[in-house]
Structure 1
Amino acid sequence: MTDDIGRLVRTESPSSDLAAVARSAEVVAEVAAPYLGTGPEVLTADGRTHLRWRLGSGPRRVLLLGHHDTVWPLGSLAAQPFTVRDGVLRGPGCFDMKAGLVMAFHALAALAAVGTVDGVTLLVTGDEELGSPSSRELIESEAAGCAAALVLEASADGGALKTERKGVSLYEIRVDGRAAHAGLEPERGVNAAVETAHQILAVAALSAPGTGTTVTPTLLSAGTTSNTVPAHGLFHADVRVRDTAEQDRVDAALHGLRPVLDGAQVTVTGGPNRPPLPRTASDALYRRARRLAGELGIGELASAAVGGASDGNFTAGIGVPTLDGLGAVGGGAHAADEHVLVAELPRRTALLAALVDSLLAAGGSTR
């Protein structure tokens, strides 16, 4: 398994580099071939490469969902090479989430050797880290009609499964003012930087800590030179919510922003990107996973609610029972200390195989 993960990690796949993602898809298919016994369907959308294996000929009952793109730019391996030392595997993208893909290959191979994988679909997308702009429709269409979606994203702290994820909305707020000389006649201008400051405060005030809603202004720019009243300002806002009512409230408020300064204009673009993944979508699957973990001798299996989103938000959003965080145990996603605990790989792979087998044996029922 560590050799397979190494091949994937050494094939860098930043989401924004279409050629790199296409090369990564080829390597993912090569690594999977000995385990799945068949090549994938290669699906491209907007130049982005996704892979789909539909195993067996029966009705689709279980969807395994992952991605092979990462946040790491080309060249990251030079500073953070792939290593396995003292039981810890490191390298850009190992935890989020190339180890999860390898776990899926090995789990399905183990099932095929002793039983069946008929009715299982494995979907590996290439743009998850961008918000899945080209793969969302594919994800939802593959999930539709399935009894369960099992997401191979990395676990939460301590190996906890992710049973609740916040929904995500993304916005760009543009401010237009009027330029003027900052020393000679600033009164003739409409200061877009000042208007942007007003709007940032208004946007940040939409947060509601009591309900878990965070509205965070992020990327910011304004002005052209140090002696010119800024004519334009721009900032982005990242919104995380636990329920769709909050997502709708914040969306209406953001699109209802109005300028404070006379002569300024405010334009808001964007909106909800991923719906929330509520605990109700994962609860039955989590209980099943806990029972199986006990039978396997893995021990107590914790759960966690997290602020980050995944493609599991989409499957839950269309009403498919979804359990997330079934991938690697480790930490440091998107960070220089990204790592996977090697000893947990076979245990978590056994749990994944048992969960798929249990669902297939039950005819896909999550109960």
Structure 2
Amino acid sequence: MTDGRLSHVELLARDGETGMPCRRLEGFQKIERRHPGGFQRGSTYRHWLCEFGVRLIRQNNAPPFYISNTNATHGNCNLIMEKLRISFHRRFTRREFTMSHSSNAVFPIDALLWGIRRWVEIESPSQDGQAVNRMTDIVEADYRAQGVQTQRIPGRDGLGDHLIARKGNKHGPGILVLSHNDTVHPVGTLDDVLPFRIEGDRAFGPGIADMKGGAFLAFSAIAQLDVGDLNWTLPVTHVLVSDEEIGSPTSRELIEAEARKAKYVLVTEPGRNGGRCVTARKGIATFELKVHGRATHAGLRHRDGRNAIIELAKHILAIEALTDYERGLTINVGTIRGGTKPNVVPFEAIAEIDIRLPTPPMGEEIIRKLREIRPTSDDYKLMLTGRIKRPPYTKTEAISELYETARSIASDLGFDLSDSATSGASDANFTASIAATLDGIGVNGLDSAHTHYECMEISSAPQRAQMLYQLLRTLR
């Protein structure tokens, strides 16, 4: 444990209606501070006083810390400053000096935006392990600065590391918060088609919706949990994986293992369709159908050839016909390839198939039908390979109860939290059959994920952070 010193305090009062600076006060006081994050002695900090409260910002890009919920006005700035001067003459405990720990914890918009932007501007495409690890380094450092225990799981196959943060000394099944550090955007996107910017009530940037915005909301909420809060009863584990956008090939085992230790799982994917959370997702199965025929010269011995592309085409029509919109089952033959030269009857043709499955029984049904496909003649050979990559996430009674709890909290905070089902998959597909899972509780992504206009709604971020915080401290 290391002492740090607060050598300069700057208080900026903001008008509660306009948000514009209205008064500036400065003070110079030296205090001793203890914090397990190991801040260096003599560090300089800035305090900004606004309508949301007092927050502390380290100059070297560390996350904000909140030390008061006091509202700022023209009349009470001097009084607040005097109270701070008096307080500076004694030691602070970690609880007093870090986040404001109460049932009314605040999440200032400017602090959330500052933190989200810092994470967004560390580009982290899934298949660039070093880039993802730069992001993981920052998240790990931010958690350690809050005194939160972390564990790093080394990546493999060229992918990045996974990070686990644990808070709370409670025992028994707890709450798993599930996020990912990777994005679909390649390095250079920030300098090209999607720089960080704010336009009205929207903040833009690669991965800001999916899901660095939501991951930062979770970090902010967890950081404010107070071990002395008697309402908080369940230990919290935050897992941030490095490969969700490519199917979680190296993290699925970790996700399922942590889910087995949990009573609830909260997934910080973006809200959709106006900020709705997600209580059901289709499963995903991928298959490859390969056909072998007989190659011959297309001019000299065309009659003797067996065209693998034609055989595959017949089966494609039959496979696509299995789509059933009424039941929510979709089958898409997304790619086909075959043949070698225009003057050769093709020996081989291959189709890649994407299947979206609303329920596990439907998955068993469609896989059985695919395996029943037979060649049209003995001159052809069919080979089918594939599996269910993400099982369906269905809305069970336990999931409904968890959603109703979140909806009640949201109502108390002044907004309506509707739920939805979606065809897109997430890591929630792995956990829903293990523990009650609620997805889509990150930022309102305005249905922009994976686009060159990816963005988040700014104004709803504090409420959604508060909802997540209240879930963490009140779930039983």
TM-score between the two structures when normalised by the length of structure 2: 0.72
- CA 1:9/1:182 → structure 2, altered by over 3 Å: closer, same or farther? farther
Q: Is the aligned partner of 1:96 residue 2:213?
A: no
User: Which sections of structure 2, spanning at least 5 residues, go unmatched?
Assistant: 1-111
Given the alignment, which residue of 419, 430, 436 partners 1:321? 436
Q: Is the aligned partner of 1:12 residue 2:123?
A: yes
- CA 1:176/1:74 → structure 2, altered by over 3 Å: closer, same or farther? farther
* Shift in Å, 1:45: 4.5
- CA 1:260/1:31 → structure 2, altered by over 3 Å: closer, same or farther? farther
Given the alignment, which residue of 128, 137, 143 partners 1:26? 137
Aligned to 2:185: 72
- In 2, the alpha carbon distance for the partners of 1:137 and 1:204 equals 32
| Aligned 1:175-190 pairs, distance under 5 A | 175-190=291-306
- In 1, the alpha carbon distance for the partners of 2:205 and 2:140 equals 20
- In 2, the alpha carbon distance for the partners of 1:337 and 1:290 equals 29
- In 1, the alpha carbon distance for the partners of 2:242 and 2:233 equals 24
- In 2, the alpha carbon distance for the partners of 1:30 and 1:2 equals 18
* Shift in Å, 1:26: 1.5
Aligned to 1:228: 344
Instruction: Map Cα deviations across residues 139-190 of structure 1 (whole Å, 9 max, x no partner).
Output: 1111113210001011121001101111111112222222222233222222
Q: CA contact under 8 A between 2:282 and 2:425: conserved in structure 1?
A: yes
Instruction: Map Cα deviations across residues 272-307 of structure 1 (whole Å, 9 max, x no partner).
Output: 11111111152001110111111112x221111111
Q: Which amino acid aligns with 2:207?
A: G
User: Which sections of structure 1, spanning at least 5 residues, go unmatched?
Assistant: 363-367
Given the alignment, which residue of 43, 59, 63 partners 2:153? 43
- In 2, the alpha carbon distance for the partners of 1:135 and 1:240 equals 21
Instruction: Map Cα deviations across residues 245-272 of structure 1 (whole Å, 9 max, x no partner).
Output: 1000111222332222442222111111
- CA 1:349/1:14 → structure 2, altered by over 3 Å: closer, same or farther? same
Instruction: Map Cα deviations across residues 45-77 of structure 1 (whole Å, 9 max, x no partner).
Output: 434311001212322410000111112223222
Q: Which has the higher contact order (CA 8 A, sep 6+)?
A: 1
Aligned to 1:61: 174
- In 2, the alpha carbon distance for the partners of 1:189 and 1:112 equals 74
Q: CA RMSD in A?
A: 1.8
Aligned to 1:81: 195
| Aligned 1:191-270 pairs, distance under 5 A | 191-270=307-386
* Shift in Å, 1:114: 7.2
Aligned length in residues? 357
* Shift in Å, 1:351: 0.6
* Shift in Å, 1:118: 5.9
Aligned to 1:112: 226
* Shift in Å, 1:79: 1.9
* Shift in Å, 1:37: 2.3
- In 2, the alpha carbon distance for the partners of 1:196 and 1:277 equals 32
| Aligned 1:110-189 pairs, distance under 5 A | 110-112=224-226, 115=229, 119-189=235-305
What SS does the corresponding residue of 1:220 show, helix, strand or coil? strand
User: Which range moves more in the overlay, 116-125 or 186-195?
Assistant: 116-125
Q: Which amino acid aligns with 1:295?
A: D
Instruction: Map Cα deviations across residues 297-354 of structure 1 (whole Å, 9 max, x no partner).
Output: 2x22111111111111111122x10111000102211122211011111110001001
- In 2, the alpha carbon distance for the partners of 1:75 and 1:188 equals 53
- In 2, the alpha carbon distance for the partners of 1:4 and 1:127 equals 22
- In 2, the alpha carbon distance for the partners of 1:342 and 1:117 equals 31
TM-score between the two structures when normalised by the length of structure 1: 0.92
- CA 1:85/1:39 → structure 2, altered by over 3 Å: closer, same or farther? farther
Q: Is the aligned partner of 1:336 residue 2:452?
A: yes
Given the alignment, which residue of 397, 403, 409 partners 1:292? 409
